[in-house]
Amino acid sequence: MKVGATAVGASRRSRVFRILAILSVLALVLAACGGDETADDDTTTTAASGDGDATTTTAAASGDGDATTTTAAASGDGEVMLPAPELTTIRFGVSALEFHSFPLHYAGVTGILEKYGITELDETYTEGVAVAIQALAGDRLDAQAGTGSSVLSSLTTDVPFLTILTTLSKLTDGLFGGEGITSMEDLRGQKIAISDFGGESHAVVVSALKSAGMTPQDAEIVQIGGQSDRIAAVLGGSVAAAPIDVARREQMEEEGMTLLLNLAETDQQLPRGGLNVTREWAETNPNTALILVAAVMEAIQLMIEDPEAAAAEHLIWAEGEDIEDSRNELETYLQFVNEDLVIGEDPWLTMQETLAVTNPAVTEVDVSEAYTTRFVEQLDELGFLEQFGITIEE
């Protein structure tokens, strides 16, 4: 399995992880060359054993000579067969190095993707959501880890996106105030930092203000950048507050900030932690989409089973400095993760309402066209969810 990482719109990230599947390739070559003159007409089927190791078997090709490849994940009672992916390399875009963007990466470095026939995950870090959106729309990415805001906005364009899974909908951010800001009322007329207008952090701030009986017009919302940039802006005094993951509460309070509102304690939800593709891509590559959903679901189970290993990999991936930060963020993420990868319509309606502030055309779209549960339901029918003890929440 090859996992590569490059940076777009940022010079601070440049690293490559390579895990080459030489032994498995060699095994296939030897099997094809040995003992049977008709081996060229065989079909390769891969099955994951109960301990996660892949075993290789062969099956006869169809009468027309064309081999049909399938992959399989084995449960304790048998195998769940998945179709071979149309693509073996996935160009994956990430614009936030947070846990809701992490599972597909983890599926790559732990060998889950390779088990299902995807041999390379080419990761691209984009500085800002807008760059990732452009790359996905321009066919420079196959999939993007992002929120529902870009998907809803895309429905007003000629290149509609589609969310094929959502790992997180519960808000895990808090609104933190800087020096002299100790209550939500103190934010009237003050600047609040977000990443991008129409993005998740924007929706979080709007939700926080609404929870406090305020409107976006009661404060000045300014576009600053990702979480690290927002933290720096609050500490530097250029803004009064910013949304920050509550897992970092202790660290932020040590820096002199005040938690004004903990959104994790509210009922507010948004389509977060999604895996977005273009609608055309999903229609052209349905097997690949199915495998991506399966791999993310399995990776999350692996994170639950061994959080220490997941936190250690996240620290490397996010180029962090303190393993405790990754541990705390993972703990918070796993508290609220959607193991079935499905959310309802209400979080999408909330995001639509937020987007309307800057993009009125979004009010005309049908939010049901922004997401699909088709692939999760297909996996459920195959028995894939059952092997992990997962049921789809209604």
Residue 394 is predicted with a pLDDT of 65
Confidence at 266, pLDDT banded by 50, 70, 90? confident
Rounded mean pLDDT, 137-150: 93
71-98 residue pLDDT tens = 555 434 467 889 999 999 999 999 888 8
Domain spans in the chain, listed from the N-terminal domain onward: 1-171+269-394, 173-267
Instruction: Choose the most confident range, by mean pLDDT, from 8-17, 26-35, 127-136.
Output: 127-136
CA distance 279 to 143: 11
Residue 249 pLDDT: 93
H/E element, 24: helix 22-33
d(CA 270, CA 369): 16
Q: How far apart are CA 312 and CA 130, in angstroms?
A: 29
pLDDT band for position 50 (cuts 50, 70, 90): very low
Average model confidence (pLDDT) across the chain: 83
pLDDT of 188 strictly over 60: yes
Give me the pLDDT at residue 78, please: 60
What is the phi/psi pair of residue 224, to 5°?
-120, -50
CATH superfamily of domain region 1-171+269-394 = Periplasmic binding protein-like II (3.40.190.10)
Instruction: Classify residue 371 by its DSSP letter.
Output: B
Span of 26-30, 241-245, 301-305 with lowest mean pLDDT: 26-30
Q: Could you tell me the pLDDT band of residue 383, with boundaries at 50, 70 and 90? A: very high
Tens of pLDDT along 245-260? 888 999 999 999 999 9
Cβ-contact 295, 104 below 8 angstroms: yes
Asked whether residue 8 carries a pLDDT value surpassing 70, the answer given is no
22, pLDDT greater than 80? no
Instruction: Give the model's pLDDT for residue 186.
Output: 97
274, two tokens: 């999604």
Instruction: Please check whether the two domains, 1-171+269-394 and 173-267, share a CATH topology.
Output: yes
Q: What's the burial of 344, exposed, middle or buried (CB within 10 Å: 0-12/13-18/19+)? A: middle
Q: Which fold has domain 173-267?
A: D-Maltodextrin-Binding Protein; domain 2 (3.40.190)
The H or E element containing residue 138 is: none
Given pLDDT bands bounded at 50, 70 and 90, which one contains residue 197?
Answer: confident
Would residue 383 be called left, alpha or beta, if left means φ above 0 and alpha means ψ between -120 and 50 degrees? Answer: left
Question: 53-77: per-residue pLDDT in tens?
Answer: 443 333 333 334 343 455 555 434 4
Element at 254 (helix H, strand E): helix 249-254
